[in-house]
Amino acid sequence: MSTILVTGGSGVLGSLVVPLLSDAGHDVRVLSRRPGAGTHTGDLATGAGVDEATDGTDVIVHCASDTRHFGRQDVEQTRTLVEAAAGSAEHIVYISIVGIDSIPLYYYVRKLACEGVIATSGIPYTIFRATQFHQLIEYLLNGVRRLPVAPLPLDFRFQPVAAREAAARLAELVEAGPAGGRAPDMGGPEVHTLSELAATWQAAGLPPRKIVRLPVPGRVGDAFRRGLNTCPDLATGVETWAEFVASRQ
Ligand SMILES: NC(=O)c1ccc[n+]([C@@H]2O[C@H](COP(=O)([O-])OP(=O)(O)OC[C@H]3O[C@@H](n4cnc5c(N)ncnc54)[C@H](OP(=O)(O)O)[C@@H]3O)[C@@H](O)[C@H]2O)c1
């Protein structure tokens, strides 16, 4: 049994990892800024509570990210975490995103820098990159659901994966011990354009009713159109987007 701290254990991915690690018999801690949402209240932005949360931990699963603000402070926050954990942690597992080194999106540039912080922390580590979760595509579609005509980058490609399956892989990587680098990437079973994903969503009767193509110029748009965020050779996820949508109805 290990003592494991899951940062972001209250988020979409982390909340699915926590029960898997608990069921495997580990003593699991969850860091959250919101009192009561985790076992430990703390904030990686200020450092408050982080020493207490990391003290005596064997393993850290780092899922926390300022996703609402494109990871604005993620690099500093990851540094705060590894500095606090340096004395005790024997393994840090970091969740990252497929293709971040090929797509100059602000959030991805910061994720890549976080990978660097982890790799040079001196703590044995594993970096695991996954493709976009089904929930992220759902978030995109829900974000425009009230618009009479919803603009979306319909020609972007995605290979959405079930967050539950990425969580299961993360739990396996904890048990496997430090990889000393990147574990194999993980993608969902199918690559689709956003147009195709939206059509499946709409066919299930879900809004928005009318979507038009939002042109996204530049290198970021080009990268998503080319599917540099996908890994079709590592399509180890099982649940399809259509199955996820059916579960949401
Ligand atoms: N979503 C995707 O499609 C996808 C795909 C591949 C990889 N990933 C990666 O997976 C990770 C988790 O993503 P997610 O979608 O599960 O994110 P999420 O639901 O937005 O959760 C973010 C988590 O980070 C915590 N957090 C944020 N700022 C914090 C701070 N200053 N101090 C402490 N905790 C903080 C939040 O905790 P509180 O709000 O409770 O404090 C929350 O639990 C991210 O690193 C993301 O890049 C996501």
Over residues 72-115, the pLDDT tens digits come to 999 999 999 999 999 899 999 999 999 999 999 999 999 999 99
Cα gap 47→117, rounded to integer Å: 16
Which atom number of ligand 1 is nearest to the Cα of residue 73? Answer: 31
Per-residue pLDDT band at 147 (split at 50, 70, 90):
very high
Ligand 1 pocket: which of 12, 31, 65, 108 to mutate (most atoms within 8 A of CB): 65
Amino acid at position 236, single letter: T
Amino acid at position 215, single letter: P
CB 111 within 8 A of CB 140: no
Amino acid at position 111, single letter: K
Per-residue pLDDT band at 249 (split at 50, 70, 90):
confident
Taking CB atoms and a 6 Å cutoff, what residues make up the pocket around ligand 1?
Answer: 7-8, 10-14, 31-34, 37, 43-45, 63-67, 77, 95, 97, 111, 130, 132-133, 136
Which atom number of ligand 1 is nearest to the Cα of residue 37? Answer: 40
First to last CA, the chain: 39
Ligand 1 pocket: which of 13, 17, 159, 239 to mutate (most atoms within 8 A of CB): 13
pLDDT at res. 227: 98
On whether the pTM is more than 0.85, the answer is: yes
Cα gap 155→133, rounded to integer Å: 18
What is the CA(70)–ligand 1 centre distance, in A?
A: 11
